[in-house]
Amino acid sequence: MEQKHLKRVDLIFEWDEKNPPIQVLDETLQKTPDAIILEMIDSGLKGRGGAGFPTGLKWKFTRNEDSDIKYVICNADEGEPGTFKDREILDRVPEKIFTGMAICGYVIGAKEGYIYLRAEYNFLLKSLQQKLDKFNQQLKDRQIEFTIFLRSGSGAYVCGEESALFESMEGKRGEPRNKPPYPTVAGYNSKPTVINNVETLVYTCEICRMGADKFKALGTSDSRGSKVFSVSGDTTKPGIYELELGMPLKDFIDEFGDDDAKAVQVGGASGHCVPRKKFNDTIIGFEGIPTGGSMMIFNSSRSMYNVLHDYLEFFTEESCGQCTPCRVGCQQLLKGIEAVKKGERPPSYLEDLKKLTLTMKIAAKCGLGQSVANPFISIVDNFKEEIIY
Amino acid sequence: MTNTENFVHELAEKHGRTRNALMPILQGVVARDKYLSEEAMIAVARELDLSAADVYGTATFYTFLDTVPRGKNVIRVCKTISCHMHNKDEIIKALEEQLRCKVGETTSDKKFTLLTANCLGWCHKGPVMLVNDDVYPELTTQKAIEIVQEYIRKSN
């Protein structure tokens, strides 16, 4: 197996004066859509929002759909606790996002693109709109029939789920849809839609700039390329860092920990908690623990009961309430760990609660309810004493 | 037409009258009034040819589309884990004392509403709060109070 080590990379925020995004667009549009799709598939790029679907395939499926109207949507509804990389990308290099969207529009045959920005980032709206106006004008000057529009969210975590996002853009409650059909077939306005995370779109622009070969030289066979990590919690260096995928968590902790880390929550509230004894064996990537980039470090002064309690409060509030397993499940998990803590329920009750999360994993309608099992089981199993006493 | 009806009418002219225009219109009303009054929601329903219940049902789904009156300035303090670990409780306590109102309440002069919010996306610079759309990271109790005082000065 390839053994990777922590390595900093600078692709996302790098600004190549000799080859700015608009020039990348000009050069890329000289190629055929099929050639661009092949390049994306060859690069091995997988979605950077957390789910990790191969980007090239998503574009290909949407291109293959027969429809006069198609859409490209940039998911900027970054709401996973511990994640803030998209905000920085939107703030610092939005031109790369626009370029990725325009390339995608050309590939799939879409004339409209939308950026769905979470309401918590409304302070970015003004500068983003100015830069977007300039970019849209550049497209017009080149007679490229593609326009990008901005849309705001209104403070609902679940709208980061792609079908809930479409519902919200269509003026409805942000309740996830049944799948299939998938967005590539019926997304926004029930038309074929590519929806990509902010960071993913920037990588598509970068792959067009430097070629798939250079991109896939980074990372491992399962996790090509690099990724932007949001580092917070008990760390000496909070902030965002672009790192090569495939490193052991131990490397990460040596670099960012405060020498007292007892656990890392990889992938935000809906991710996995890794205790110290597993730092060496845990790979950060799709072959190990995949992540949307959230890395929260907890040192020995922290109570993992409080951490889990915070997460469950979060899910209870953010569950859209549409499906029973998630709506009732989240509430019962929260009440359940409180009851065990107070001694109203025996410690063995935690096993029942774990079974409940597994039921949610099967029965909940969307990723929100399905993923509550990740933090719950990994925290309860590794820090049982802290949860009980 | 009343002032609110006029305003909703202008928003509908700007964003269109399809269902897809509902969110931008509701957001436009909240940007001006800080909340959606019954009058505003009924006006939106008429403009878009929707039932008032449908408009209300959509609005109440979203945390940032309030349907109860809010103060001129809405403060949202992040309460999620990283900010929790960096003493958001003290920030909230200081603001409660300064504003003389509890979380969820509006000051008697209607100038401020104090709320908490789930992750605002500043985990590396917590604690953090939003005042309306503006963000204030790396708070201390002192800083939070000064920011509020600045808003009071500006409104006088």
DSSP string, A298-352: EETTS-HHHHHHHHHHHHHHH--S-SHHHHHHHHHHHHHHHHHHHTSS-TTHHHH
Inform me whether the pLDDT recorded for A2 exceeds 70. no
- Report if residue B48 sits inside a domain: yes
Q: What is the pLDDT of residues A248-265, one digit of tens each?
A: 999 999 999 999 999 999
Instruction: Give the best residue of A232, A270, A300, A302 to mutate against chain B (max B CB count within 10 A).
Output: A232
Q: How far is B76 from chain A (nearest CA, A)?
A: 10
- Report if residue B95 sits inside a domain: yes
- Report if residue B67 sits inside a domain: no
Q: Are A159 and A169 in contact (CB under 8 A)?
A: no
- Report if residue B151 sits inside a domain: yes
Inform me whether the pLDDT recorded for A1 exceeds 70. no
Inform me whether the pLDDT recorded for A3 exceeds 80. no
Q: What is the pLDDT of residues B45-68, one digit of tens each?
A: 999 999 999 999 999 999 999 999
Q: Is B53 on the interface with A (CB under 8 A)?
A: no
Confidence of residue B122 (pLDDT cuts 50, 70, 90): very high
Question: Do B86 and B26 share a domain, yes or no?
Answer: no
Question: Do B47 and B120 share a domain, yes or no?
Answer: no
Coil/strand/helix, residue A130: helix
Looking at the structure of chain B, the number of domains it has is 2
DSSP state of A182: P
Question: Do B101 and B137 share a domain, yes or no?
Answer: yes
Residue in A273, B135, A119 with CA at minimum distance from that of residue B127:
B135
Question: Do B96 and B146 share a domain, yes or no?
Answer: yes
Scan for tokens 């929550």, then name that residue: A265
Scan for tokens 């905000």, then name that residue: A87
Range(s) of the domain holding residue B92: 73-155
Say whether the ipTM exceeds 0.90: yes
DSSP A257-313: B-S-EEEEEETSTTSEEEEGGGTTT-EESTTSB--SSEEEEEETTS-HHHHHHHHHH
CATH class belonging to A226-299: alpha beta
Question: Do B40 and B81 share a domain, yes or no?
Answer: no
Q: What is the pLDDT of residues A345-377, one digit of tens each?
A: 999 999 999 999 999 999 999 999 999 999 999
Q: CA A98 to CA A130: how far, in whole Å?
A: 13
Coil/strand/helix, residue B11: helix
What pLDDT, on the 0 to 100 scale, is given for residue A291? Answer: 86
Confidence of residue B85 (pLDDT cuts 50, 70, 90): very high
Q: CA A182 to CA A289: how far, in whole Å?
A: 25
Q: CATH number of the domain that B104 lies in? A: 3.40.30.10
8 Å CB contact of B123 and A80 = no
Q: Are A167 and A195 in contact (CB under 8 A)?
A: no
Asked whether the CA dihedral A117, A122, A126, A127 is positive or negative, the reply is negative
Closest by Cβ to A173, choosing from B61, B80, B117: B61
pTM score, whole prediction = 0.96
8 Å CB contact of B124 and A240 = yes
Confidence of residue B35 (pLDDT cuts 50, 70, 90): very high
8 Å CB contact of B23 and A238 = no
Q: What is the pLDDT of residues A219-250, one digit of tens each?
A: 999 999 999 999 999 999 999 999 999 999 99
What pLDDT, on the 0 to 100 scale, is given for residue A339? Answer: 98
Q: What is the pLDDT of residues A125-135, one digit of tens each?
A: 999 999 999 99
Question: Do B78 and B54 share a domain, yes or no?
Answer: no
Cβ-based burial of A106 (10 A; exposed 0-12, middle 13-18, buried ≥19): buried
Amino acid code (one letter) for A349: Y
> What stretches of A6-94 adopt beta strand conformation (E)?
71-76
What are the residues facing B106 on neighbouring strands? B113
Last residue of a domain, one of B31, B59, B87: B59
Instruction: Give the best residue of B82, B83, B86, B116 to mutate against chain A (max A CB count within 10 A).
Output: B82
Q: CA A35 to CA A13: how far, in whole Å?
A: 26
Question: Do B47 and B80 share a domain, yes or no?
Answer: no
Question: Do B130 and B88 share a domain, yes or no?
Answer: yes
For chain A, give percent helix, strand, coil, nearest 5. 50, 15, 35
- Report if residue B64 sits inside a domain: no
Q: How far is A315 from chain B (nearest CA, A)?
A: 10
CATH class belonging to A304-380: mainly alpha
Coil/strand/helix, residue A91: helix
Q: What is the pLDDT of residues A26-74, one digit of tens each?
A: 999 999 999 999 999 999 999 998 889 999 999 999 999 999 999 999 9
Q: Is B118 on the interface with A (CB under 8 A)?
A: yes
Q: What is the pLDDT of residues A84-101, one digit of tens each?
A: 999 999 999 999 999 999
Q: What is the pLDDT of residues A137-190, one digit of tens each?
A: 999 999 999 999 999 999 999 999 999 999 999 999 999 999 999 999 999 999
Q: CA A384 to CA A125: how far, in whole Å?
A: 44
8 Å CB contact of B20 and A171 = yes
Q: Are A226-299 and A304-380 equal in CATH topology?
A: no
Q: CA B16 to CA A286: how far, in whole Å?
A: 44
- Report if residue B93 sits inside a domain: yes
Residue in B51, B53, B45 with CA at minimum distance from that of residue B29:
B45
Question: Do B111 and B78 share a domain, yes or no?
Answer: yes
Question: Do B77 and B143 share a domain, yes or no?
Answer: yes
What's the topology of domain A21-216? Rossmann fold (3.40.50)
8 Å CB contact of A154 and B65 = yes
- Report if residue B118 sits inside a domain: yes
> What stretches of chain B adopt beta strand conformation (E)?
73-78, 112-117, 129-131, 134-136
Closest by Cβ to B119, choosing from A79, A86, A152: A79
> Which chain B residues have a beta carbon less than 8 Å from that of A311?
81
Cβ-based burial of B3 (10 A; exposed 0-12, middle 13-18, buried ≥19): exposed
Last residue of a domain, one of B30, B59, B88: B59
Helix B52-59 to helix B22-33 angle (10° resolution) is 70
Residue in A130, A196, A120, A188 with CA at minimum distance from that of residue A152:
A120
Question: Do B91 and B38 share a domain, yes or no?
Answer: no
| Domain residue ranges of chain A, discontinuous segments joined by + | 21-216, 226-299, 304-380
Q: In what order do the strands lie in the sheet with B134-136?
A: B112-117, B73-78, B129-131, B134-136
- Report if residue B68 sits inside a domain: no
Q: CA A369 to CA A377: how far, in whole Å?
A: 14
Q: What is the mean pLDDT of residues B15-43?
A: 97
DSSP state of A46: B
Q: Is B89 on the interface with A (CB under 8 A)?
A: no
